[in-house]
Amino acid sequence: MIKQLTVNTSEQGLHEFTDDVQAVVRAAGIEEGLCTLFVRHTSASLLIQENADPSAKRDLERWLSRLVPEHDALYTHQNEGPDDMPAHIKSALTATSLSIPVSEGRLALGTWQGIFLWEHRSSGARREIVVHVSG
């Protein structure tokens, strides 16, 4: 089963959409298999991360922004503003696809794990994620 999800973001940062993916897995009706996700953009990425303590999310966002700052004099690709090239670099350093086992009809995530879209553009965007469930 292949389904496209849309995640609308309004700002940079981690946006959880675990429940949306779990709904796709439920609709697929499989007990065991694999769920693969792919984000169809070059300035956003996917991440499995802690979803219990918001400080973990904030620390990750701050760390990556410090690692890849805006307004670096080395950037020549700035067609869409000062966050354009940093967004591409952040996407290259993180993941654009994820694979998660399905067990007993559910994503086999750990207790504190969630699935996040990592928006790297300042103003956010409408992001498409392709979800493929097989089993």
CB atoms within 10 A of CB 59: 11
Token pair, residue 111, equals 């207790």
Indicate if the alpha-carbon torsion angle 3, 5, 40, 17 is positive or negative. Answer: negative
Q: What percent of the chain has pLDDT over 90?
A: 97
CATH superfamily assigned to domain 2-134: YjbQ-like (2.60.120.460)
SS3 10: coil
Q: Is the pLDDT of residue 79 over 90?
A: no
Nearest alpha-carbon partner for 10 in 123, 128, 132: 123
User: What is the average per-residue pLDDT within 23-45?
Assistant: 98
Residue 18 to residue 25: CA distance in whole angstroms: 11
105-132 pLDDT per residue, tens: 999 999 999 999 999 999 989 999 999 9
- Give, as one character, the DSSP assignment of residue 12: S
What is the pLDDT confidence band of residue 82, given thresholds at 50, 70 and 90?
very high
Q: Is the pLDDT of residue 46 over 90?
A: yes
